[in-house]
Structure 1
Amino acid sequence: MDDLNAPLGKNLPPKKGATKTPPSRSGSKAFPVLLGAIFLGVLALNIYTFLEQNKDTQTLVVRLPEPEPVEVAEEKADPQAQKPDVEVVYGQPDANIGQEPAAPVAAERETITEVSPGGPRIITIRDPQVTEIGQPEGERHLPVQNALEDTSAGKLPQRTDDGRRPVDIYARPWSNAGGKRIAIVIGGLGLSQTGTQRALDQLPPEITLAFAPTGNSLDRWMRVARKKGHELLMQVPMEPFNYPQVNPGPRTLRLASSPETNLENLQWAMARMTNYSGITNYLGARFMNDQQSMEKVMEELGERGLLFFNDGSSGTAGNLAADAARERVPYASGNLIIDGSNSPDAIRAKLKALESLAEARGSAIGSGSALELTVKTVAEWANQAKKNGFEIVGIAALTNDPERQR
C-alpha cells in the first residue's frame, strides 16, 4: 500500500533499502549570523556617512552647571580690634642706655604698663643685658635703695653702681614706635589733698605729675601715683622776674643767694619725695635765664642722673638745652601752657594745637596745673586722642638725652 492510500496516524515500517535522514539544523545557525552581518553593515555605512559629512576635527564640549553663588558675610573692621588690648614691645634700642649691668639677669623681665581707655595695655619685654626703662608693675611705688643716697638733706636720688639712672628707673616706659607722641605735665600736686585725689582719680596714667615740695603727705601720694602708672617730677621753686611780689614759696632758688645756699635748697626740694625721674621749675623766669646759676643746677642733676623739664612758663630760658647737654642731663621744654585761660574751650584749643604740633613734628609737650577744670578737660581729651592715633607718653620719652644717644 503506498503512502497516499495508507491510513493516517499509522506508523508504517520503512521501506527496505531506504535511509532515514535527520532534520537539518543549518537554518537555525545561519539566521543569527545573517542578522549580525546586516547590523555591522548598517553600522559601517552610518560611520562612513558621518565621516564623509564631518571631515573636520570635532570638539566635544561638555557644559557643567555653574555653581550657585555663596553669600559670604562681609567682615567688618572692629575699631577695638585695631587697638589691641595688649601691645608687646621688644627691646627697643632707643629705650635703653646700652650699658650692661654689673651682674646679668637670669631671664628677660616683663613690665606691664597701665593705660587708660583708648590705648593698648603695653607689655614691654626688654633685653636683660641692658639698662631698663621703668620698674616692674608691682614695684613701681618702691624706691630702688641703691639709687638713693643718704645725706643731711634726706634721701637723694643717685646713679646706681651698675650705671642705672633714676631717670631710667622711674620713667614711664614708651613704645618707641614713632608716630605722633604727646606728653602732658600737670603740676601743683600735693598742695591740696582734695585736688590731688581728684587728679589721681581722673587723669589717665600716661599723664606726668609734678609735685610741689611744700605739699603734704608727698610720700603717700607718690605711692598712689606710682601704683597707677604715672611718671613723676619734683617741682623746684625758682626766682621769677617780679620777685618778691610773686613769690614761689620757701627755699626759692635766687640769684642773690650763694651757690652753696641754692644747692642746699635744691637738695631740700629733691629730698621731699622719691621715685621721680627729674625736676621741673616752678616759675623761675629770672633764675633760669642766668647761665651761671643754672650751670650749678645742671651739674647736680647730671651727677645724679635726673632729667630737667622746662615747663615753658619762662620761655626758652637762654642756653638751658646746651647747659643740659654739657652736663649729660636729659632735657625737654614745653611747647604750650594749656590752662593759661580758665575756660574749657580755651584748654581744648590748646590741646588741639598740641595735636597739630605732634602731627607736624612728631611730638609735642604741654603743661598745666592741677585745677579741677584742667584735670577734667585733659582726662577727656587724652582718651579720645589715643583713639585718634596719638601716643600719650611720659615726659622722659621726649627728652633730648645725651647718654641715650651715645
Structure 2
Amino acid sequence: MSVDDLQRPLGTAQEAAKRSAGARLRAFGKGLARVRPLPVITVAAGLVVAAAIGWIGVVDDPLGGEPIARTRIEGTAPAATPSGAPAGVPSSPQSTANAAAGAAPGAEGPAGEGASSAPDGPSVAVIDGRSGKINDVPVAGDRLAPAPDPRLVEKARHGAVPRIAADGTRPFETYARPAPAIAPGKSAMPRIAIVVGGLGISANGTSEAIAKLPPEVTLAFAPYGTDLDRVVARARTQGHEVLLQVPMEPFDYPDNDPGPQTLLTTLTSDQNVDRLHWFLARFPGFIGVATYMGARFTSSESALAPVMREVTRRGLMFLDDGSSQRSVTREIAGGLGTTFARADVVLDAAASPVAIDNALMRLERMAGERGSAVGFATALPVSIDRVARWAKEVETRGYLLVPLSATVARGKKGA
C-alpha cells in the first residue's frame, strides 16, 4: 500500500471507478446512436432478394416440385364421309365452301344428290359419338329478331324511326316474340298477356324486372332513361318483346307533367307527329307504342287520331294502358285498322301484395270468359315480385301466359 493510498480519503477510489465506467457506457451509447437502422435493414433485404434470385436461377424446379400428371391420348380413325374422306376434312373445294357457309356435311351438289335436310328453323348441331355424323336437331325458336332491321328504319329529323318495309313487312311482326310451340293439350287454354311499364328510368328496377319476370311478359320502356339502346337490347336478348311508352297530356297538366316532348291537345297535329318521331327515335326493336299518362289526350279524338294514324302507317301496334275510362283509342283504332290492345286490368292500381293478387285473379276470370285478357302493371318492386310469383303457377291453374303480340288482332299493313 502506497503513502498516497493511505492519505486518500476512504471511498474515493470506488467513486472514481464508477465515474470511469459510466463515461465508457455513455460513449458506447453515443456510438450506437450514430448507427442508422434503415441502411442495415435495406442491406439485409437486398441479400434475401439476391439469394432468392440465385436460387431460382440455379434450381431446376423453383416451386419445389408441384405434382404434374401426364397421359397419352390414343388417336382414333375419323369416320368416313360418303365421299371417302375422313369426317371433318372437306373432300372438294365445294365442300369447303359449304362448311364455311354452315352447310351440313354431304350438302354439296344439286338438290337430290346428297342435299342436306337441315331444318328451316333454329336448330342445334348434335354430333353422333360413334359415327361422327353431324345432325341438325330443330329446337323451339324464341329468340327475337335483331334490331334494328335495316329494311324497317328510315332517317327522320330526330333520328332513325320505324317504317314498313318495301315488301310490306312490319316492325310489329318482325320484332315480336316468336309464337310459342303450344302442346295440343294446352292449345285451348285461355291466354293472358301482362305488360310491365315504366322501365328504363330506374336502373335497379329495370334490372330486377328483366331478371325476375319470365320472357313471356312484355316490357314497356319510358323514353327518358339513359343508355336505352343497351338496356332494351338486354331485355330483348332475354326474350322479352318491348314497347315504347309515349307521354301524353293528363287532365292536370302542367301540374302533372309527364316530361319533355309530351303530346298535347293544344298543339297542331303536325307538331304532335313531330314529337312522336322524337320518341320513335329513342331506341330500336319495339313492336309498338303504349300510352304514358295521357287521360286528356286519349279522350280527344282530334288530337289522338293523327298520332294513331302515324303509328299505323309505320307498322306498329298501339296499346292503351287502361288507366282512363274516357279513352277513345279503341274507336279510333277500329276506324284506322290499327293493331290495337287495351289493358283489361290495371294490376297495381292499389300497390299492395293483396290488391295485386286480387287483380291477377280478376284477370284470370276475364281470360276464362273471353279466351284472352291483358293486364298492365308498373315496375314497382311489389308489382314485379307478385307477377313473377303468379307466373310460376299460372299454367297449373289452366291459363297460358303469352306475349302481348299473341293476343291482339293483326290489323292491316298500313293506312
TM-score of the aligned structures, taking structure 2 as reference length: 0.64
Closer/same/farther in 2, CA of residues 386 and 255 from structure 1, 3 Å limit = same
Task: Give the secondary-structure state (helix, strand or coil) at the position aligned to 1:364.
Answer: strand
For residues 251 and 227 of structure 2, what CA distance do their matches in structure 1 show? 31
1:123 is matched with: 140
Moved over 4 A (4+): none
- Which residue of structure 1 lines up, in the alignment, with residue 151 of structure 2? 146
Aligned-pair distance for 1:358?
Answer: 0.8
Give the whole-Å Cα distance in 1 for the aligned partners of 2:204 and 2:298: 31
CA distance in 1, matches of 2:353, 2:221: 23
Q: Give the aligned partner of residue 364 of structure 1.
A: 373
Instruction: Provide the rounded CA distance (Å) in 2 between the counterparts of 1:185 and 1:251.
Output: 24
Q: Counterpart of 2:272 in 1: which secondary structure?
A: helix
Aligned 1:272-287 pairs, distance under 5 A: 272-287=282-297
Sort the Cα spacing of 1:250 and 1:111 in 2 relative to 1 into closer, same or farther, 3 A. farther
Distance 1:316 1:366, change over 3 A: farther
- The offset of 1:164, in angstroms, is 0.8
Q: Residues 4-403 of structure 1: matches in 2 within 5 Å?
A: 109-110=120-121, 123=140, 137=143, 140-175=145-180, 177-315=187-325, 317-318=327-328, 320-403=329-412
Distance of 2:298 and 2:362 partners within structure 1: 26
3-state SS, counterpart of residue 246 of structure 1 = coil
SS in 1 for 2:244: strand
Q: Residues 195-244 of structure 1, C-alpha deviation per residue, up to 9 Å, x if partnerless? A: 11111111110111000001111100111111110010000000011111
| Distance in 2, Cα, partners of 1:141 & 1:164 | 15
Contact 2:250/2:295 (8 A) holds in 1: yes
Contact 1:232 1:277 in 2 (8 A): yes
SS of aligned partner of 2:264: coil
Classify the secondary structure of the residue corresponding to 2:192.
Answer: strand
RMSD over aligned CA atoms reads: 2.1
Rounded to whole Å, the distance in 1 between the matches of 2:122 and 2:157 is 34
1:107 Cα deviation after fit: 8.4
Deviation, 1:321, is: 2.1
Residue range with higher mean Cα deviation, 304-313 or 386-395? 386-395
Deviation at 1:284, TM superposition (A): 0.5
| Partner secondary structure for residue 350 of structure 1 | helix
Tell me the secondary structure at the aligned position of residue 155 of structure 2: strand
Q: What's the CA shift for 1:315?
A: 2.1
After superposition, the Cα gap between the structure-2 partners of 1:178 and 1:278, relative to the gap in structure 1 and judged at 3 Å, is farther
Cα deviation per residue 1:134-166 (whole Å; 9 max; x = unaligned)?
xx72x6343211111111111111111121100
Q: Residue 394 of structure 1: CA displacement?
A: 1.4
Q: 1:109 to 1:271 in 2, by over 3 A?
A: farther
* Bigger Rg, which one: 1
Shift of 1:395: 1.3
- Taking a change above 3 Å as real, the CA distance of residues 324 and 107 of structure 1, as seen in their structure-2 partners, is farther
Matched residues in 1 for 2:361 and 2:139: separation? 25
Contact persistence 1:140–1:227 (CA under 8 A): no
Larger relative contact order (C-alpha < 8 A, sep ≥ 6)? 1
* Cα distance in 2 between the residues matched to 1:147 and 1:325: 24
Counterpart Cα distance in 2 of 1:182 and 1:107: 34
Amino acid at match of 2:201: L
Quick one: which amino acid aligns to residue 339 of structure 2? Answer: P
Could you tell me whether the CA contact under 8 Å between 1:211 and 1:232 is conserved in 2? yes
Distance in 1 between the 2:139 and 2:254 partners?
Answer: 46
Q: Deviations over 1:70-109 (max 9, x none)?
A: xxxxxxxxxxxxxxxxxxxxxxxxxxxxxxxxxxxx9864
Number of equivalent positions: 278
Distance change >3 Å, CA 262–CA 227, structure 1 → 2: same
**CA distance in structure 2 between the aligned counterparts of 1:122 and 1:326, rounded to whole angstroms:** 40
Letter in 2 for 1:307: M
**In the superposition, relative to structure 1, how do residues 171 and 111 fare at CA in structure 2: closer, same or farther (>3 Å)?**
farther
1:111 deviates by: 5.2
Determine helix, strand or coil for the equivalent of 2:266.
coil
- Counterpart contact for 2:156–2:277, Cα < 8 Å: no
**How many Å separate the matches in 2 of 1:191 and 1:372?**
14
The offset of 1:122, in angstroms, is 7.9
Shift of 1:301: 1.1
CA separation in 2, counterparts of 1:122 and 1:346? 39
Counterparts of 1:362 and 1:251 in 2: how far apart (Å)? 38
**Cα distance in 2 between the residues matched to 1:253 and 1:109:** 44
